[in-house]
Amino acid sequence: MPHLVAEKVIKSFAVDETTLQAVNDISFEIERGEFVSITGHSGSGKTSLLSILGGISKPSSGRVLFNGTDIYSLESDGLSEYRCEKIGFVFQFASLLPMLTAKENLLLPMGFHTRRLPADRAENKALELLGLVGLRDKADAYPSQMSGGQQRRVAIARAFMNDPEMILADEPTGDLDEETEAEVMNFFMTMNRINKTTFLMVTHNTELARQAMRRMKMHHGSIEEIS
């Protein structure tokens, strides 16, 4: 059974008196443990597609199946559980809560998990993840005390806090220098290899995209495989 299936997915928006089709009849399958990249110009529909696949934005028509279940057939609690426990999001911006330390930002998603770890184990896990992105020494720092790149790495670590089956990453290295970008990609590849985490990564960086097992490209809401 495919891990994720997009089946004739369409997303339309009303703009003034016209209809904008951000996602245009997209269908594809992703197997468990695959690392897939999607490239495309700004406005091609990449972020809209990720939002649909992540259970954030309901499609106008079509289905999204995760482990065989249509996620938009779930009740509100079931869809929230999907977003919290099955999917890890890495957004274009770090989106850290400014009043929480790096460690506390990582612990926050655990508070919504249906099977919470004991406090000491959760804290150890948060510190371990911060260490994996090179920020163990920033565990007690607030976002205002970190650079933009450091905040981005904290957000990346946070995406793995609930052991997601799949990571949806939207320009995950957009504001990182080349060295840190390489470290983040190495971290992603390690999690993919060791934990069999499935990755779907949107990026403008064609060099990063080439590191994926499969490559796709979006253009005006449509998608195609790249050999």
pLDDT tens, 177-190? Answer: 888 888 889 999 99
Would you state the pLDDT for residue 90?
A: 92
Q: Does residue 214 or residue 92 have the better pLDDT? A: 214
Helix boundaries (H) for 159-220: 178-195, 206-209
The number of helices, as runs of H, and strands, as runs of E, in the chain is 7, 10
Which range (13-27, 36-50, 135-149) has the least confidence? 13-27
In the chain, the domains with their CATH numbers are 4-226 (3.40.50.300)
Q: Please state, rounded to an integer, the average pLDDT across all residues of the chain.
A: 92
User: Average pLDDT in the 62-91 region?
Assistant: 95
Could you tell me which residues come within 8 angstroms of residue 152 by beta carbon, excluding any fewer than 6 positions away?
94, 172, 173, 174, 175, 176
d(CA 123, CA 129): 10
Residue 94 banded pLDDT, cuts 50, 70, 90: confident
Residue 119 banded pLDDT, cuts 50, 70, 90: confident
The yes-or-no verdict on residue 112 having pLDDT over 80 is no
**137: which 2 tokens?**
């020494």
The yes-or-no verdict on residue 58 having pLDDT over 90 is yes
Residue 34 banded pLDDT, cuts 50, 70, 90: very high
User: Average pLDDT in the 185-202 region?
Assistant: 94
User: Average pLDDT in the 189-202 region?
Assistant: 94
The yes-or-no verdict on residue 115 having pLDDT over 80 is no
Residue 92 banded pLDDT, cuts 50, 70, 90: confident
d(CA 77, CA 174): 32
Give percent of the chain with pLDDT exceeding 90.
Answer: 74
Buried-exposed string 77-105: b where 16+ CB fall within 10 A, e elsewhere: eebebbbbbbbbbbbeebebeeeebbbbb
The yes-or-no verdict on residue 37 having pLDDT over 80 is yes
SS3 158: helix
Question: What's this model's pTM, rounded to 2 decimal places?
Answer: 0.92
Would you state the pLDDT for residue 216?
A: 96
Do the strands 61-66 and 69-70 form a parallel or antiparallel pair, or are they unpaired?
antiparallel
Angle formed at CA 174 by CA 106 and CA 96, multiple of 5 degrees: 25
d(CA 13, CA 60): 9
Give percent of the chain with pLDDT exceeding 70.
Answer: 100
Residue 124 banded pLDDT, cuts 50, 70, 90: very high
> Within a 10 A sphere around the Cβ of 155, how many other Cβ atoms?
22
The yes-or-no verdict on residue 54 having pLDDT over 90 is yes
pLDDT tens, 16-28? Answer: 778 778 899 999 9
